[in-house]
Every structure is written in structure tokens, then in C-alpha cells.
Amino acid sequence: MIGLVLSIVLVFKFGSFGPFSDFVGWGEKNIAIDNSSKHIAFATVEGIFVISDKGQKEAHLEIRAPVTVDWIPQKDALLFGVGRSDGIVGIWYWRRSKDFEVIGEHGSAVNSVDWNKKRRLIASASDDGTVSIWRLKNKELVKSFDFKISINAIAWSPDGQFLACGGTNGELFIINSSWKVKRKFLLNSSIYSVAWSPDGTRIAVSTGWPDKAIVIYDILTDSLTFLTHVHSDAIWSIEWADNGFLLASASKDGSIIIWNTYNWLPIKRFTCDTSWYKSVVWDEDGNVIASRWDGKIDIFEVQDFDLVVEPSLSPKSQTGSPKDTIPPEIKVLYPDAEGKRSVVFEIDEKTGKLKVIGLVRDVSDVPFVLVNSTEADVSRINGGVKFIAQVPVHEGVNEITITAVDASGNVSRKEFKVETRSRWRGRQLAKLPKIWAIVVGISNYKNRQLRLKYAATDARSFVDILTGPNMGVPNDRIVLLTDKRATRANILKAMMDVVKMAGENDLIIVYMALHGVPAFGKLYFLPYEGDEENIVGTGISRNEILDIFNYSYPEKRVLFIFDACHAGAFDWITQYYGHRGTSQTFAFEINRLLEEIANSRKGVSVFASTSVYDLSFEDEKLKHGVFT
């Protein structure tokens, strides 16, 4: 008996759509495909787009901060979750309406939604630690579970009887049809994505730091398989192909890997140098569709080839020769770190990479060699291959893992540590951080009742400080917006443009001298055209600002400097004309909301003009706001 030969896919990149927005939604499923109509749904910071298989926009739902989507094909409808603090779960009948209906709400951002077509139920997961089950027909809340930790990802089993939920504590929760919960601890890493195998017997889970792993949980045997040292950063999304023999994983390291799910060997890797992949899905033809952080969609087409996926029960192959069961032999030529702990190897300063060279010997062909997360270039020699890989490293001690796979599926790994340094000790390998700035000051509002005397002057003076001899920030890294130029659209665009240009270690300074208003439990800043009668519609909320900076790639360091008038109730305008201040009640609220910004994530700092009992004044003698 010979091995079973199945038609599997060899993939290659053939197309890219977009960009549809500057940034995508951060949910693990920010794209979804309706195989019946060949449409793609895409959640971005500018709303949800419905895109044809030719890359054309066919519909656009303008809603702030959608992060995750899923199709209800039978209804021509889209489920979505909103990342703002109101935590909306909504449905959009995109062919007949430009508006949406609310299914329900969570207490915080919704990270994932999933449609159960068998039982016609909706599941949603939130940062508030809850997973909710909703009935589509009457929008009834059927059941809610509070896991006390943020849930990033959920997925119904193919038969609709189980719901898998991934928590930020590395725990997998499986809810059965009787609403009983089984807990399975996997790793000390946040779970970012969960996916069921088509036969419903296995769950694939992807994680972030420090493990950066894929874990396969076999439900029938209660066993775990760990795939590590492949992606070099958080694995945001995984998805099983309908044939069950392939799995795709998308990572913050800018790569997608296609896995053979029989032996869990990587078949192919794709990389993007300008962005990273956030979410990945398969269509019914076996094409891989992936969203990128920069608002684009990449598509990888398929071609057939034959791959033995089930080993022969006979010790002889079809040709009669013995089956190769011996793993490859790996020998490292450079860096030769074995037994030489005192040797320090030099890094290429321009790329920050170390060249790794070696040999792999095996009686079979060796088509695949991986060094950490880098696929090596291989050239055939007698009895094996020679490989070369340029591996990103840092100065100091680095762990190097070499993985070699031969044509018979045998795997070898070699691990060692190597100490590296740049060629000249006095020069830093990493680029020195840069300072970028968005500076906003509004004195002459469109509504003359809102005008201030010195906010625009303060902004220009702050730019003088930035460009002066002590800081020396070039003008091309500063965006100054005053008075008529400080519109809502210009301010948000400036923030998004600077986030895209700034590097990983750079500092972004946001200076704002304008009216700041607490309304409906949120903080709003009034741009030039701001209307005190329509604060929510014309203001810029702190949620919008956080959505831009907190989910940028890579994460940036941000310093917010707010010389914002506490103009919570506008009755003070007539009494204290030209005075940037408010009552103590509004001062308390403003400072509470500013504290939320400061605590939104690491690397964010807030410097505000007032304490809870202070008011923000403009001084006639100084010709400035007192704070500035």
C-alpha cells in the first residue's frame, strides 16, 4: 500500500487591493468573505467597506472604530463590533441601507464577533471580560459569561455546538450547547486568534509575546502541539482552509505562513516589508486573503501540486526504495559559536543583521531551512544543501534556532547562542530616535463667542521651542495648525500622517491649545468649526485620538501636552470672556478623562495645564496662556 496522494496548494502573491484606509480595525477578524456573493468585508478606522472580488468598493458604512466583522450570507448582512468604550455589537444590511441596527452592547470595546449559522446565534467578546450570546431574530440576549479577563477571539465550531474563546491570560474557554464552560490553560501569552478545524476535532490558537506560538488543541485526545520559533512577533490571526490540510497564520513580523496540518511543517512564507498582516481568511477556492495594517488587502492565488500527506503503511515506497526516516544533519559554518563563548561576532551596521552560513546533509532533498524567522537561501551540494540567511539580531547575546526539513518530512533543529556587536563600538546599531510634533492652537474660532486671545500665539511659540537650539527639531517633522487651518479633518489627518512617518523608537509630541469639553462621559476637543450645540458631532473625542496612536504600527511613544480650556458648560463665556476655565465639577471630569489617556497604554504621557482645582488663564502682560 502506498501513501495517499492529495491535491494541495502552492501559493503565490498575485494581487493587492487598496488602500481603503490609513489603518485597519485591530480585531483578529477585521476582514471576512462571503463565498456566495464573492464579497469581502473590511473593518477600518474610516468605517466598514464591502469590496468586490475585483477590488471595487460597493458599499461603505461610516462608523467610528469598527474592529471586527463577520458575514451573515443568508441575510446579505454584516455583523460588526465597535472598539470604542460603548462596545456596540451591530448588524448592517448593506444592500438596502446606509445605516445599521444595534444588536446589543458590552461595557467596553468589542474584539470579536462570530455568526452561528446552525443555531442562528451571534457571539461577541469584549475587553470587559464578557462573552455574550445574542439571538438574531429579536436581538435577545440569550446568555452572558464573565471571564474576568479580556477576551480577544471567539469562534463557533463547524457544527455550531461549541464556542471557543481565547483570553489575554493564555487560557482557552470552550462553551458547550448546555452553556457549560471547560477551561484549558495553554501558555503565558495573550491569545489573539482561535480557529476550528473543518472536522471540529482540533482548535488552533495563536498568541503574542513572549511565546509567539501556535498551539493545536486536539479535543479527542486532550493533547497539545506547540509551534514556536517561526514567527518573530505576535501572531494576530490564524485560519484553517476548508480542505483541512492547510492553515494560514498572519503575524506582526510582516509575514504569512502556510502550514501543512498533517505534519505541521511550514510550506511557504510570504513577507511584506512596508507593513504587517493583521487578519487572514481563505475563500472557497483556496485563495488566501489577508489584511494589512496600512489599509491594503493582499490576495494569494493557488496552483495545484501533489503532496503525500499520509505515510505509507509499507516500509517500501512506490519505487521500492526504503523510506527515509533519518533527520537531516545541520552544521554551522558561521558564526562558529560552539565552545567559543569569548568570541564576539560583528553585525552589518546598515541592516542590523548577522549572516548565518551552514550545511545540511541528508539522503533526501532538503527544500526548506529556517533560521529564527528568516527563510534561508539554499543551494544544492553533494549530499545536501548549503544555506545562507541574514538574521535580525541585537547587540549582546542572541538565541539562534536553525530548522531543516527534508523531502520526507524529517525535521532537525539546532540551537545555539551567539554574542554580537556593531563594527564600531562607539556607534549605536539602532537609529537615534526622532521627535515629531503636531501643534494646534486656535484663537479665532468660526464661532466668535468661542474665541481665545493667545492660543494660536502659544502654538507658534511652542514651535519656536521645538526648533530652537536646545531641541533642534527640523521643520519638516512639525505640523503647525492654527485658527482656520485647525479643522477637525486637518487635525486628524496630521495625526495619522505623523504616525505613519514616525519610527518605532521615535517620540511624537501632540500640543493642543484650544477648548476642551467633557460631554457624555468623554472628552472632546473643539476644532476651528466646533459647535458648542453639537459637541459630539463637531468635536474630536479622545477615543478618536487614542484609536490613531494606540494601534499604530509599530507602537509609538506619545507625549500629549494639553493647554485645553475647561469649557464644560459654555455659560462662563459671557462671564469670563477670554478665560480658559470652568467650574470645579468640570475640572474633576476633565482631569479624570486626561488620566484615562495617560493610562491607555505604556509609552503614553500626558502633561496638562490644570489640576482639579485650577483654571487655565490667559495673561494680558505675558500675551500667552499662563501654562505655555
Q: Which residue has the higher pLDDT, 89 or 379?
A: 89
Label residue 387 by pLDDT band (50, 70, 90).
very high
The span from the CA of 482 to the CA of 512, in Å, is 10
Please give the pLDDT value at position 601. Answer: 55
361 has pLDDT over 80: yes
Residue 204 has pLDDT above 80, yes or no: yes
What are the grid coordinates assigned to 185, written together? 490553560
Residue 343 three-state SS: coil
* Percent of the chain whose predicted confidence (pLDDT) is above 90: 27
Comparison of pLDDT for 591 and 242, the residue scoring more: 242
CB 306, CB 274: distance < 8 Å: no
Q: Are 170 and 194 in contact (CB under 8 A)?
A: no
**What b/e sequence results for 37-59 when a residue is b if at least 16 CB atoms lie within 10 Å of its CB, and e otherwise?**
eebbbbbbbbbbbbbebeeeeeb
Contact 371, 401 (CB under 8 A): yes
Q: Which three cell numbers stand for residue 576?
A: 469670563
Cα–Cα distance between 422 and 351 in angstroms, integer?
11
Confidence of residue 582 (pLDDT cuts 50, 70, 90): very low
Cis preceding-peptide flag for 322 (omega within 30 of 0)? no
- Upper half-sphere CA count for residue 362 (Cβ side, 13 Å): 28
Please give the DSSP secondary-structure letter assigned to residue 551: T
Q: Quickly state the pLDDT bin for 210 (edges 50, 70, 90).
A: confident
Instruction: Tell me the three state secondary structure of residue 137.
Output: coil
- 317 pLDDT band, cuts 50/70/90, is very low
Rg (CA), the chain: 28
Q: Are 354 and 417 in contact (CB under 8 A)?
A: no
**8 Å CB contact between 546 and 593:** no
> Tens digits of per-residue pLDDT, 257-292?
988 887 788 888 888 878 888 999 998 877 888 888
Q: What is the pLDDT of residue 425?
A: 43
436 CB-contact burial (10 Å; exposed 0-12 / middle 13-18 / buried 19+): buried
482 contacts: CB under 8 Å, gap ≥ 6: 440, 441, 442, 443, 456, 459, 460
DSSP secondary-structure letter at 459? Answer: H
Residues 6+ apart with CB under 8 A from 132: 89, 104, 106, 123, 124, 126, 141, 143, 144, 145
Q: What is the pLDDT, as a whole number, of residue 338?
A: 56
Q: What mean pLDDT is predicted for residues 209-235?
A: 85
Supply the DSSP string of 163-211, one letter for each residue: EEEEETTSEEEEE-TT--EEEEE--SS-EEEEEE-TTSSEEEEEE-TTT
Going 372 to 376 to 378 to 381, the CA torsion angle's sign is negative
Q: Is the pLDDT of residue 78 over 70?
A: yes
Examine the pLDDT at 580 and tell me if it is beyond 70. Answer: no
End-to-end Cα, the chain, rounded Å: 83
The mean of the pLDDT values for the chain is: 78
Mean pLDDT of 190-218: 91
d(CA 248, CA 6): 18
pLDDT of residue 164: 97
| pLDDT(511) > 80 | yes
User: Is the CB of residue 195 less than 8 Å from the CB of residue 240?
Assistant: yes
Residue 139 is predicted with a pLDDT of 92
SS3 at position 306: strand
3-state secondary structure 238-289: EEECCCCCEEEEEECCCEEEEEECCCCEEEEEEECCCCCEEEEEECCCCCEE
Phi-psi region of 466 (alpha: psi -120 to 50; beta: other; left: phi over 0): alpha
Query: For position 518, what pLDDT does the model report?
Result: 74
- Under DSSP, the state recorded for 24 is B
Q: Over 70: is that where the pLDDT of 414 sits?
A: yes
Of 231-240, 258-267, 304-313, which one has max mean pLDDT? 231-240
The bridge status of strand 277-282 relative to strand 265-271 is unpaired
What is the average pLDDT across 511-538?
Answer: 84
Of residues 623 and 40, the one with the higher pLDDT is: 40
What's the Cα-to-Cα distance from 128 to each of 20, 152, 534, 568, 600, rounded to whole Å? Answer: 30, 10, 29, 28, 14
pLDDT in the model for residue 623: 43
**In 502-602, where does DSSP find H-type helix?**
535-538, 542-550, 572-575, 584-598
Residues of the chain by 3-state class (helix, strand, coil), percent to 5: 10, 45, 40
Kindly indicate the confidence band of residue 89, based on its pLDDT and cuts at 50, 70 and 90: very high
- How far is 388 from 355, CA to CA, in rounded Å? 7
pLDDT in tens, 98-110: 889 999 999 888 9
Domains recognised in the chain with CATH numbers: 4-310 (2.130.10.10), 329-422 (2.60.40.10), 435-625 (3.40.50.1460)
Prediction pTM value: 0.53
What are the two backbone dihedrals, phi and then psi, of residue 108, each rounded to the nearest 5 degrees?
A: -155, -170
pLDDT, residue 437, reads: 94
Mean pLDDT on 186-190: 83
Which percentage of the chain shows pLDDT scores above 70? Answer: 79
The dihedral of CA 38, 44, 48, 49: what is its sign?
Answer: negative
Reported as a pLDDT band with limits 50, 70 and 90, residue 251 is very high
CA 386 – CA 377 distance, rounded (Å): 8
Distances (CA, A) of 552 to 63, 251, 293: 19, 15, 8
Query: In the beta sheet, which residues pair with residue 66?
Result: 82
